[in-house]
Amino acid sequence: MTPTTALRPGLQATGISKSFNGNRVLQDLELEIPAGTVHALLGHNGSGKSTFIKILAGYHEPDAGSGSITVADHELVFGDPESTRAAGVTFVHQTLGVIPSLSVLENLRLGQPWRTNAVGKIGWRAERGMARERLAEFGLDVSPDALIGNLNTVEQTEVAIVRALSAGDDTRVLVLDEPTAALTDHEVGKLFRLIERVKQRGVSIIYVSHRLEEIPQIADALTVLRDGRTVGRGPVAEFPWGRLVDLIAGEHHDDAGGDAAAPRAPAAARDAAPILRLDGLRGGDLRDGTLDGRPGEIVGAVGLLGSGVIDLARVLTGRLPVEGGSAELDGRPADLSDFAGLARRGLAAVVGQRADRVAMSLSVQENVSLGVLGRFFSHGVLSRRAVTAFATAVIADHEVRCAGPDVVMSSLSGGNQQKAAIAKVLATGPRVLVLEEPCHGVDERGRREIRELLRRAADGGALVLVVDSDLDEVVGLCTKVVVFRDGTAVETFAGEGMNRQAVLNACYGTDEQEQGR
């Protein structure tokens, strides 16, 4: 129930727009969040939610001509984080920002001065007492001396929220960005009780989540963004489950998805034995990574943020330890902790941050030839002419736009850096290619060209596995899509049954929710 403090002013945003390189990512956003209420900010990846939060934080400035953001009638200065802080706006991001090796007390005091005595020594007894009182205010029974790393995920999230509210006694707005992404249903309920306590203190709460089933339980009102525009706004009771999903999905005409006929793997690929088989793979947020893929297929592993799907790529490439399950390559066990050994068996990957995928300080030629340099040695002497000829051909074949093979990689656009990274691994002739969000941060032209490179790789007989949190990058490209939710592979689509709406429903668990109503 909304407390009486909801009658007081909270946060109000009017006419907020933002563009990057001429691309409008947020248009005329209007928000009004009374004190003591929870307002859910919803939308698929790229809808504009994060952009608004960064504007609110002072990280980005909105476009010229935008309106204003006020907190309790205090107007924020755009682009000034100190103005945001002074207005009483605090944030708890999905990554929490806690330091596992420090105690609860030390984490609570991060960024704040310690209480000291007359000779400048920290008054540890007083600090512990104040921390216990602060934690107890929110119903938390956690020792100030406990290491954060020894707490479970919901306890760490609770400490992060208490820290945000302890930044000052005048906290007016709390932004919670995907606070339940890594929590179980039981832990979600525990966190909601804390949020209710925060509401009762008159704090306006912006709640960002992809887990739509939570919204009726915790939010008073909501706003739905799609492609930077507001497509729905009002009390939660006015937005049943089906309407919410329809608003988030909208009409889709991009050639990466939509209602076009789903791609089909060649008959030979459908009849072939799997080259890669994962069974119950566990690690990080991945609880059950089960899928297989055949030569000539493009398999998409997709899920919302917090679904654990990105950890599939990390476990497959040895960046996260395997905690359980098994993997087979060509019908033989695969040791995922030995990526060099996997590479010798024909597995290649384009994963991690873009700076990890290419060597920014090296030339384009050096990058694309790095994995096959051994081909160009004769009697211990490197043929630079042959390397240049090879690199020039690769650059042209993969449409990497640059002034020449000798230009430094860091001078290329993000899309061309990504194409160069893919070209580098394709030059090795992989039989299995794993890609993590290959089109992230790339413009539409670059995305089209990257998709074409992946299709060509599959046509050449490789298994292409695309791991992504953006379903628009897999539907319409992949011949098979495996949906992950809560760390588990929950549904597989192929052929006529695969379309954007069906995959979206599986990502959100829509069918299960409708059946439960």
In a domain, 354, yes or no: no
Asked which of 402, 429, 456 is the last residue of a domain, the reply is 429
192 and 212 in one domain? yes
Q: How confident is the model over 268-282, as a mean pLDDT?
A: 86
146 and 29 in one domain? no
pLDDT in tens, 465-490: 999 877 777 887 899 999 999 899 99
180 and 78 in one domain? yes
User: Looking at residue 414, what is its pLDDT?
Assistant: 77
Domain span holding position 245: 4-88+170-249
225 and 174 in one domain? yes
SS3 string, 166-199, reads CCCCCCCEEEEECCCCCCCHHHHHHHHHHHHHHH
In a domain, 40, yes or no: yes
In a domain, 15, yes or no: yes
Q: How confident is the model over 271-296, as a mean pLDDT?
A: 93
245 and 262 in one domain? no
- Amino acid in position 151: L
Residue 412 burial (10 A CB sphere; 0-12, 13-18, 19+): buried
Kindly report the CATH number assigned to the domain that includes residue 458: 3.40.50.300
266 and 341 in one domain? yes
For 33-102, give the DSSP string. Answer: E-TT-EEEEE--TTSSHHHHHHHHHTSSPPPTT--EEEETTEEPPTT-HHHHHHTTEEEE-TTTT--TTS
124 and 31 in one domain? no
pLDDT in tens, 89-115: 989 887 788 888 999 999 998 877 888
418 and 381 in one domain? yes
pLDDT in tens, 424-468: 999 999 999 999 988 876 766 777 888 999 999 999 999 999 998
Backbone angles phi and psi of 184, in degrees to 5: -80, 170
In a domain, 224, yes or no: yes
In a domain, 55, yes or no: yes
Q: What Å distances lie between residue 404 and 108, 370, 423, 438, 442, CA to CA?
A: 52, 17, 15, 24, 21
Confidence of residue 258 (pLDDT cuts 50, 70, 90): very low
Asked which of 401, 429, 457 is the last residue of a domain, the reply is 429
- List strand residue ranges (DSSP E) for 367-512, in order: 377-378, 381-382, 432-436, 463-468, 480-485, 488-494
Q: What Å distances lie between residue 224 and 91, 243, 304, 355, CA to CA?
A: 20, 11, 16, 33
User: Looking at residue 4, what is its pLDDT?
Assistant: 43
In a domain, 380, yes or no: yes
- Number of domains the chain is built from: 4
268 and 238 in one domain? no
In a domain, 352, yes or no: no
267 and 243 in one domain? no
Ranking 57-61, 108-112, 252-256, 285-289 by mean pLDDT, the lowest is 252-256
- List strand residue ranges (DSSP E) for 318-419, in order: 324-329, 332-333, 347-350, 377-378, 381-382
Asked which of 249, 281, 315 is the last residue of a domain, the reply is 249
Across the chain, what does the average pLDDT equal? 86
221 and 145 in one domain? no
Q: How confident is the model over 363-369, as a mean pLDDT?
A: 94
In a domain, 356, yes or no: no
84 and 11 in one domain? yes
